Amino acid sequence: MKRKIPDNIILGDNQFFGVNHMSQEKGHESELKFKDISKIQETLHAALDYGVTGVMFSTHPLIYQITDMMRSDKRICKQMGIYVNMPYIMKYVRMLSEMGMFNTIKTTLTGNKGWKKLKFLLRSTGSLLSGNYKNLVHRLIEAELSPFYKLQIKSVFLHNAICDILLGYKLTSLLFDYNYYVSEKLKLVPAYGTLNYPKFSQLLGDSGIKQPIIMTSINKKGFLMNPNREAVEKSIKQQEDHILAMATLASGRLEPEEAYKYLFSLPNIESVVVGLSSKRHAEETFSILSHYFNNI
């Protein structure tokens, strides 16, 4: 299974879902703007116009509407690949508080499209009742991926919140099982997110997972870089992982030129995930990134 990240520049989805780590007000403004799915469609076309052919999507409650739009748009469906970031944590937090564990699992498993629902539900319920939780996790992974049927999935990222929980408990067997199931059974490329790159990279190595794709925060401010910027830099130089850099502008605290000059002073940076807040921002960001990637 090929591990290298296919795209140097990947469009992020934070702006679509109102995620802003520095300003709730700006996040809310962005969320209201992109409630109109046609605005997301316009943004995907704008990205393609700049040669960006990858987008990362979390399994947000809006994802069914978004993927329906993508399937109906020939250009997007043919040219735009998807990096799935799963699961969407807040969705499950809300569902668990409102519905409880069993109904959350039932709702998740029956909400998928493009699958044989009855057979899928029976298999999953059987796994839950028999205590076969590994099999249940496999069913949940399939459910999370189900909105993306007939679209090109380039990689499947395990969300950093889950990865860092597995790191905290050193659950190497679960990481190995996820890696095996996604790559060998689903024939997709597994990948991981973390906010503690040094320790998580080591944990993957301990799990027997070599040269993985890892998405992590890398920026000159040290924003979301744990335990600190210096430790992350040192680990990047020592490891042979395939790195997708996120939070490169430190949530708007850095200008692109300064941010990317720092970023590309480090080795092994194969890809960058970026937001697209405006046409001017897109022109500046994509131009600078293209320059650096063309000179690596």
CATH class of 9-89+150-294: alpha beta
The pLDDT value recorded for residue 137 is 82
The pLDDT value recorded for residue 124 is 43
The pLDDT value recorded for residue 33 is 64
* Cα gap 8→47, rounded to integer Å: 13
Backbone angles phi, psi at 274, to 5 degrees: -130, 150
Backbone angles phi, psi at 39, to 5 degrees: -70, -35
Query: What is 274-296 written as a DSSP string?
Result: E----HHHHHHHHHHHHHHHHT-
* Cα gap 124→132, rounded to integer Å: 9
User: What three-state secondary structure class fits 246?
Assistant: strand
Query: What is 173-242 written as a DSSP string?
Result: HHHHHHHHIIIIIS---EEEEES-HHHHHHHHHHTT--S-EEEEE--TT-TT-SS-HHHHHHHHHH---E
**What number of other Cβ atoms are within 10 A of residue 90's Cβ?**
14
Contact, 175 vs 166, CB < 8 A? Answer: yes
The pLDDT value recorded for residue 27 is 44
Q: Is the dihedral of CA 8, 214, 83, 255 positive or negative?
A: negative
Interval 102-124: pLDDT, tens: 565 555 555 544 444 434 444 54
Q: What does pTM read for this prediction? A: 0.85
* Average predicted confidence (pLDDT) for the chain: 84
Q: Which residues of the chain have pLDDT under 50?
A: 1, 21, 27-28, 93, 95-96, 112-122, 124-131
Q: Is the dihedral of CA 230, 84, 66, 151 positive or negative?
A: positive
The pLDDT value recorded for residue 19 is 53
**Rounded to 5 degrees, what angle do the CA atoms 158, 164, 165 make?**
100
| Structural domain spans, the chain | 9-89+150-294
The pLDDT value recorded for residue 128 is 42
The pLDDT value recorded for residue 12 is 93
Q: Which residues have C-beta within 8 Å of that of residue 206, sequence separation ≥ 6? A: 170, 172
Strands 213-217 and 190-194: parallel
Interval 230-245: pLDDT, tens: 999 999 999 999 999 9
Q: Assess whether the previous peptide bond of 227 is cis (omega < 30° from 0).
A: yes
Contact, 178 vs 190, CB < 8 A? Answer: yes
Two tokens, residue 155:
């990689």
